[in-house]
Structure 1
Amino acid sequence: MRNSTSLVLLIAIGFFLWSFGFAEKDKTIIDNKLALSESFLLPEKSASGFSVDNEAIINFFKTYPKLKKYQENVLDLYQKREYKTIWYDDKNISEFGHLLYEKVDLLKEQGIDKKMPYKDLIDEIFNESVTQKPTQTDTELLLSSMYVFYAINVYSGEDAETLKKIGWFLPTKNISYSRILDSLIQDPNRLNKDSHLLYSQYYKLQDVLKKYRTIEKNNLWKKIDIDSATYKELKPMDSSVIVGQIRERLFVVGDLKQNSKRNVYDEEMMAAVLNYKKRYGLTLNYTLTKEHINQMNEPIANRIRTIMINMERCRWIPTKLANADELVMVNIPSFRLFYVKNGKYELVSDVFVGTRMTETVIFSGMIDKIVFSPYWYVPQSIIDNELKLKIASDKNYLEENNMEWNGGRVRQKPGPKNSLGLVKFIFPNPNDIYLHDTPAKTLFGFAKRTFSHGCINVQEARQLAISILKDNPDWPVEKIDKAMSGEKETTCMLKNKIPIYICYFTTWVNDETGEISFFPDVYDRDKQLDKLLYSDDVVIK
């Protein structure tokens, strides 16, 4: 298209000269003007002495079809730069090009187990001993494709449509790879860490991933030898070879700061066992059962894969959400709620969530009101599947459970036995999920807490209401307690809506201690994501 345009321009100028009888001596001046016109129509030459254009880009992706999926993004890079070269200083590849190549070579440190197509050709570009290298244009576009490959895998992760298919309905990133490239070229150190691109938890997991890979490499994850048929629970002051093996494991992962190598379950080891159980979300006691030992014997390769899977989840989190001044976060696998305000944890509470049949959905919303002493309007699914049978077998069932018919629906009246407890927190959503108190306090004593129909039951629901309304003079603690007396339903509309994120992380690094916790994959989401991302050489169990 550009060549035909130039030809038309040339003919037009020739006709102009002929029409007005320009002298031969003026031809040189006109030729110079024509050259200026040509340089305006073609892409501006870069310092390296060559440029790319649409035709070159199209031909490149025909030659390298395995990179076709990056074509649109690569084209955008050059359109934003008026088709100037990106990767060359004079005639040599820029320092940033070399840095990016090194980062692609170390993708495993980013928790990524993928190889770029035509990586062997890119290796040749950076191998000084290779004389037959790709052409400059091919090199330029190979490196641009390498950048897009890197940026997609490290900064974005899976696309929004794929995430919806696997049940992840939290907001996803909307980023410009061209803008990211500009920022990285200006400050290459951002290749190592960039809090504007990746959620801070990502880098904490990355540090632990390095530690666990070192443990694996040095063969420090030694199996604890037990006979399942004869194993007896270990308790403080017990003595055996197994105790020494457990001690070594606790030392390797950091629960023990020193390894005395004693075979006695002493006080030092008791503290380490409690720390281990806390990190794994287990019931806090000193007893070591066969199940605990089996958990310790899980291959370290599985632990490494779990870390990688959760690093991938961190890629999906927009950093602006994580940096909000105020938010509520619920992590389903850890059965924990966190209320964060001004960068600090105002409240941490245990919760229980949906069963496998009624899984709690992974999504976000905005808490806009708190309802004290609420009615519970029984969902139609519960009426059809449970309540009708109970009413049929016991005509007094509704009265005995403080329930009543209301406009064709069943509702439970306010009171201490109400299934929602004495307070609920509303964030409008199509799943009809909300946070609420519960009269079933004993359920918080279980380590694995999947009991609800999908809503999130909060152990410290009263304290959460107090914390949220702390700066609201219209709602002192005394008024909150009166509203929670169970006498009548009272609604408090929040002046400022609070973001809530219901997440799914099966491993998490403590911001203060740097210790990693592992939680049960209660909905088998790790297995699903592992199958999507990686090969089948390691199976998450």
Structure 2
Amino acid sequence: MQKTIYFTALCLLCIWGCRESGSKPGDNRKKDSVNKVVQDAARDIAGNFSEQSSLRFSANRLDSFFARYDSLRTFKNDITTFYTSRNYSFAWYTDSGLTEQASHLYVRLENLPDEGLIVTLPYRRTLDSLINAGNNQTLEQKSETELLLTGLYFFFAQKVWGGLEESTTQKVDWLMPRKKLSYSAFLDSVLKQGNTGTVKEPVYRQYNLLKEYLKKYKTLPADNSTISLPANKPIRPGDTSPEIVKLRKKLFLLGDLTNASDTGSATYDSTLLTAVKRFQRRHGMTEDGIAGGSLVRELNIPVPQLIEKIMVNMERNRWLPTDVRGRYLAVNIPEFVLHAYDDDSLLWNMNVVVGKDVNKTVIFAGTISQVVFSPYWNVPASILKKEILPGIQKNPNYLEKNHMEWNGPDVRQKPGPWNSLGQVKFLFPNSHSIYLHDTPSKSLFQESKRAFSHGCIRVADPKFLANYMLRDDSTWTPERIAKAMASGKEQFVAVKNPMPVYITYFTAWVDRKGDLNFREDIYKRDLQLSGLLMKR
């Protein structure tokens, strides 16, 4: 057995006999892609469990185990399936004692707080006692240790890789497809495959990146030493103030100021300017180097609150599919940015405007199948009732003035430069009436915080996006697209290769430079999720 194989290469994917939920035709996934991943992983980790056959227990031993360890009864089917396939032989022991993988599992169980969890490990004292008995265990104790390790292995998998139940996450309006983990189906094939290559944990890559920052932030001072603005004026390059010393020290703790010797000066110099701009970039602010009210407010957030924010976003990453293949788009609502990916490669970014707090943009996934040039805007019933009808009552010429017309019992706005959807929209059928679209209000994209819409997502460069969506159709040249956008005549165009789009909500993540980013919780989703995690 190779000693370089860690628990993460042993167990972490053992439970990943999974099929990602939410697969749809046209989402750029090969039909057998998930099966191939499962088969590859099986070859990778086969042999990590003990293949010995002399140590066994009787089938009725399971009943007595669950009678004593009732909290693990939820995994009874998984555990029973696992041991039935092994003919009840031990998995965590060799003839000479506990395997190295058992030790790795024990360490991970003892350090659950490192996973951003607020949970109590069941039967911890019992596990400690059994493990510490070492080679002096009786056969009865070995049987108990064996089953307890397996039960806690599934407990770990559920909490660390699965996260909160889907029914619970819907309470925070997370309607994205959740990954599905089968804890036992995969184990049968694991023991029958060869042993080559390397494996990854069954979590989206951001999870482990945030986990590293969680460790770092837990070492920071928890005291809430605040920074004040002198005479309530922004701190600018060239200024001198005692508050600048505090500013330097805080930026050093957070990693934006990299040299400890630069923390003592009370003058705002070029070194501090670089650090301030880095902090601003990580928080989605305008990188002007001016330490004003918004920057000071972010700096004054207590470290425990930042730790909680990291933990909340680690939880969200537990729900994501571990691997999304092909081309797709992703909108991160609190970031106000649309990202384009090909597999895991970031192709480009685009600023967007999302819904106001009272018109929250929905967290869900769809597939863009149509581009609509020079669209009508069919006014939603809620806007018709709250805005249009009162406007008509005040001004009989309201519809004409706003280039609108009756369309049966509804109202729609005619195509043109005045249209609220601009010159093009991008449809992905959904029950939320959400889509991407152009807008005549271009100035809003210059704002650092862009929550202004009624729920749909406005894109900063619609012409670029239209060319990107239709790039596989040679008949739609850039010239033809520009002409269609300005034609004033509505035209629907099918996307040759429909593209998945994910509308997400992350307020903390690690960017491509390896820097931790934070964003404001504009819809108070963090607060809701944190409450659910505390209950757990």
After TM superposition, the score normalised by the length of structure 2 is 0.84
Q: Which of 121, 140, 146 is the matching residue for 1:140?
A: 146
* RMSD (CA atoms): 2.7
Q: CA deviation at 1:336?
A: 0.9
CA 1:203 to 1:380, structure 2 compared with 1: closer, same or farther past 3 Å? same
Cα deviation digits, residues 411-438 of structure 1 (max 9, x gap) = 1111111111111110000111101111
CA contact (8 A) 2:327 2:341 kept: yes
Q: Which of 121, 144, 149 is the matching residue for 2:126?
A: 121
CA contact (8 A) 1:371 1:490 kept: yes
Does structure 1 residue 155 correspond to structure 2 residue 156?
A: no
**Distance of 1:362 and 1:300 partners within structure 2:** 28
Give the counterpart letter for 1:313 in structure 2: R
CA 1:47 to 1:345, structure 2 compared with 1: closer, same or farther past 3 Å? closer
Partner of residue 216, structure 2: 211
**Distance of 1:104 and 1:187 partners within structure 2:** 28
Partner of residue 489, structure 1: 490
**Distance of 1:157 and 1:99 partners within structure 2:** 21
Q: Which has the higher contact order (CA 8 A, sep 6+)?
A: 2
Partner of residue 228, structure 2: 226
Q: Which of 292, 314, 333 is the matching residue for 1:311?
A: 314
Give the counterpart letter for 1:203 in structure 2: N
**Correspondence 1:409-488 to 2 at 5 A:** 409-488=410-489
Partner of residue 266, structure 1: 269
Partner of residue 28, structure 1: none
CA contact (8 A) 1:346 1:467 kept: no
Q: CA deviation at 1:237?
A: 0.7
User: Counterpart of 2:335 in 1: which secondary structure?
Assistant: coil
Q: CA deviation at 1:232?
A: 2.7
**Distance of 1:417 and 1:387 partners within structure 2:** 16
User: Counterpart of 1:501 in 2: which secondary structure?
Assistant: strand
CA contact (8 A) 2:470 2:496 kept: no
Q: CA deviation at 1:220?
A: 8.7
Q: Which of 89, 94, 99 is the matching residue for 1:89?
A: 94
CA contact (8 A) 2:329 2:340 kept: yes
Q: CA deviation at 1:147?
A: 0.3
Cα deviation digits, residues 2-50 of structure 1 (max 9, x gap) = xxxxxxxxxxxxxxxxxxxxxxxxxxxxxxxxxxxxxxxxxxx962432
Q: CA deviation at 1:86?
A: 2.0
Q: CA deviation at 1:182?
A: 6.9
Partner of residue 381, structure 1: 382
Of 433-442 and 161-170, deviating more is 161-170
Does structure 1 residue 532 correspond to structure 2 residue 532?
A: yes
User: Counterpart of 1:169 in 2: which secondary structure?
Assistant: coil
User: Counterpart of 1:312 in 2: which secondary structure?
Assistant: helix
**Distance of 1:187 and 1:120 partners within structure 2:** 37
Aligned residue-pair number: 482
Does structure 1 residue 297 correspond to structure 2 residue 303?
A: no
Unaligned runs of 5+ in 1: 1-44, 537-541
**Distance of 2:134 and 2:58 partners within structure 1:** 27
**Distance of 1:279 and 1:180 partners within structure 2:** 40
Of 464-473 and 292-301, deviating more is 464-473
**Correspondence 1:271-282 to 2 at 5 A:** 271-282=274-285
Q: CA deviation at 1:184?
A: 8.4
**Distance of 1:347 and 1:129 partners within structure 2:** 55
Partner of residue 57, structure 1: 62
CA contact (8 A) 1:233 1:290 kept: yes
**Distance of 1:532 and 1:309 partners within structure 2:** 10
CA contact (8 A) 2:283 2:519 kept: yes
User: Counterpart of 2:521 in 1: which secondary structure?
Assistant: coil
Partner of residue 68, structure 1: 73
After TM superposition, the score normalised by the length of structure 1 is 0.83
Does structure 1 residue 47 correspond to structure 2 residue 53?
A: yes
Of 126-135 and 163-172, deviating more is 126-135
CA contact (8 A) 2:331 2:504 kept: yes
**Distance of 2:284 and 2:266 partners within structure 1:** 26
Cα deviation digits, residues 173-221 of structure 1 (max 9, x gap) = 122223565798899999xx9546111111211222222223x2xx397
CA contact (8 A) 2:82 2:188 kept: no
**Distance of 2:330 and 2:415 partners within structure 1:** 27
CA 1:333 to 1:182, structure 2 compared with 1: closer, same or farther past 3 Å? farther
Give identity over the alignment, percent. Answer: 39
Partner of residue 288, structure 1: 291
**Distance of 2:209 and 2:241 partners within structure 1:** 36
Give the counterpart letter for 1:310 in structure 2: N
**Distance of 2:256 and 2:404 partners within structure 1:** 50
Q: CA deviation at 1:514?
A: 0.1
Partner of residue 38, structure 1: none
Partner of residue 38, structure 2: none
CA contact (8 A) 1:52 1:85 kept: no
Cα deviation digits, residues 259-313 of structure 1 (max 9, x gap) = 4232111222222212211111123323222442232121111111211111111
**Distance of 2:527 and 2:436 partners within structure 1:** 27
CA contact (8 A) 1:354 1:455 kept: yes
**Distance of 2:344 and 2:151 partners within structure 1:** 38
Give the counterpart letter for 1:148 in structure 2: F
Q: CA deviation at 1:128?
A: 3.7
Partner of residue 521, structure 2: 521
Q: Which of 164, 172, 191 is the matching residue for 1:166?
A: 172
Q: CA deviation at 1:91?
A: 6.1
Q: CA deviation at 1:119?
A: 0.9
Of 74-83 and 420-429, deviating more is 74-83
**Distance of 1:227 and 1:441 partners within structure 2:** 33
Cα deviation digits, residues 103-138 of structure 1 (max 9, x gap) = 111222222232211111001111148978873332
CA 1:509 to 1:252, structure 2 compared with 1: closer, same or farther past 3 Å? same
Give the counterpart letter for 1:163 in structure 2: T
Rg larger in 1 or in 2? 1
CA contact (8 A) 2:378 2:413 kept: yes
